[in-house]
Each structure stands twice: as C-alpha cells, then as structure tokens.
Amino acid sequence: MVFDILTIFPAMFESPLDESILGKARERGLIDVRVHNIRDYALDKHQMTDDRPFGGGEGMVMKPEPIVAALGAIKTDGPPARTILLSPQGRLFTQEIARELSGLSRIILICGRYEGVDERVADHFTDDQLSIGDYILTGGELAAMIIVDAVTRLIPGALGNAGSAGSDSFSEAVLEFPQYTRPQNFEGLTVPQVLLSGNHEIIRRWRRGQALLRTKIRRPDLFARLELSDEDLALLEAAREEARK
C-alpha cells in the first residue's frame, strides 16, 4: 500500500516512520510511505506556500498552486489514489474508516496548516476530508501519522499477531477489557482470580462483561450504538455486581 504525504514540514515524519510497526511494515514492503515537500512546487523563488486571506482576518491560508502542482506531479507515478485533506472540518476518523482505507492501494494525505487550505483545493482537488478529533492542531502532520498508523496495522502481515487488530478497542463499538501481566501481586494490588483460573470460557465471559461495563461508563455514546444479546445483558449485570463489591 502506498501513502503519499504532502507537507511543508517533511522532517516531522522521519523518526515515526522508522520505528515500531510502521518501520517493520516498510522494511517488509507492506507499505511505501512517500513524503513530499509542498515547498518544492511553489512558484516563486522564496517558495511561498501561504498568503493572507481575501476578505481580511487573522492568520494565513495555504495557497492552491503548490498543492495542486504537487498533486499533478505525484499522481502520474503509481496506481490511482484517494486524495484526502486533513482538516478539522472533515468527517471524524474512526476505526471503521481505517478499515475502509486499508482496502485501498494508495492514499494521498494533504497536511493543512495555518488557518487552513484554499477552499478551491478542498472542493475540486480532493476526494475526502478527515479530522482526528474536535480540537485544533498546529497542522495536519500529526493527523497524517495517526491515519498511516491506524491503517497500516490493519494490513495483513503488519502485526506480529494476526488476531490483534480484530480484538482491539473500536473493532466493534466496545472498549477493550482490562489487561494484566506479571507480577501477579504488585504492591498489594493483585490480578483478578478469574484470569488465573485457566478456564477460557469463564475468562471470555468475564472479559466481555468488563468490556461492556467499561464502555457504558466511559463511552456512553458508543454503548448506545450496541445491540446487546441476552448473554451480554447477563454479563454486564455480573460485571456491575462485581464492581459494587
């Protein structure tokens, strides 16, 4: 899978792309991440990529010419791509969208900056706009890293354990159950006995109940989307009873 990233700060991507899952996926040839400097496509000797907004106002706006020129140059090299502008005005990036993008062969991510990107770029030269949350960053670079990471781990072979991606939080609208590891007793805090039982069915039921309870308490918006089975309702009640003790 190919990721093309358009940015005015390409050095921001050097370390994150070489580490952990992303670094290994690149080494194995599962992903190809190409970072393009928008300034290289500017039309003036000062490599200006922003200007003041028409109509007045604070801040600067990213100019259309360098971005569109960059798109024109990179789209000729490789398979067809979905072009995505990273913007606080985009649809909220979710695990469902990550799965959708993981089925593509190529994605182009445009990193906005300042007060945003000239609206003509968004309206006529992109296929989608995505936001990673209801807050403002200094630019789209961190959002691009998050999307590359979330999508890459869904590509077959990217994770050491093939089942890990399917059991993550948000694989359905349920947060992950509590996790524990050694030591069994840490400063008087012990691991729940059920996890030491060796009974996989009892452990499965406990984890499901804990996950449902955690989702109900921490993310009621997600919980409201669930269609609970009779077993789910019983496990949720059991988890509630345990929490009251």
C-alpha–C-alpha distance, residues 62 and 139, integer Å: 11
Long-range (24+ apart) CB contacts under 8 A made by 68-73 are 68/121, 68/125, 69/41, 69/43, 70/6, 70/36, 70/38, 70/40, 70/41, 71/6, 71/108, 71/110, 71/125, 73/41
The pLDDT tens digits of the residues spanning 10-22 come to: 999 999 999 999 9
Which ranges in the chain are annotated with CATH 1.10.1270.20?
Answer: 172-244
Q: Report the catalytic residues.
A: 88, 115, 153, 168
Residue 194: pLDDT over 80: yes
Q: Which helix (H) or strand (E) holds 37?
A: strand 32-37
| List of E strands, 65-177 | 82-92, 106-111, 128-131
Does residue 130 carry a pLDDT above 80?
Answer: yes
pLDDT score at 163:
56
Q: Which CATH superfamily is domain 2-152 in?
A: SPOUT methyltransferase, trefoil knot domain (3.40.1280.10)
pLDDT at 171 over 70: no
Q: Which comes out higher in pLDDT, residue 167 or 223?
A: 223
Supply the pLDDT for residue 137: 93
Sheet with 82-92: strands ordered across:
32-37, 2-7, 106-111, 82-92, 128-131
- Please give the pLDDT value at position 245: 86
As a whole number of angstroms, the distance between CA 83 and CA 107 comes to 6
Name the residue with higher pLDDT: 43 or 110: 110
The pLDDT, as a whole number, for residue 8 is 97
Closest CA to 130 of 95, 97, 158, 167: 97
The CATH number assigned to the domain with range 172-244 reads 1.10.1270.20
- Tell whether the model's pLDDT for residue 161 goes beyond 90: no
Q: What's the rounded mean pLDDT across residues 77-97?
A: 94
All CATH 3.40.1280.10 domain ranges of the chain, comma separated, are 2-152
- Mean residue pLDDT of the chain comes to 93
Is it the case that residue 32 has pLDDT exceeding 60?
yes
**Long-range contacts from 218-226, C-beta under 8 angstroms, 24+ separation:** 218/175, 219/175, 222/173, 222/174, 222/175, 223/173, 225/173, 226/172, 226/173, 226/174
- 166 pLDDT more than 70: no
Report residue 172's pLDDT band, with 50, 70 and 90 as the boundaries. confident
Residue 225: φ, ψ to 5°:
-85, -10
Cβ(141)–Cβ(111) below 8 Å: yes
Element spanning 208, H or E = helix 200-218
pLDDT score of 78: 84
206 band by pLDDT with thresholds 50, 70 and 90: very high
Q: Can you give the pLDDT at residue 160?
A: 73
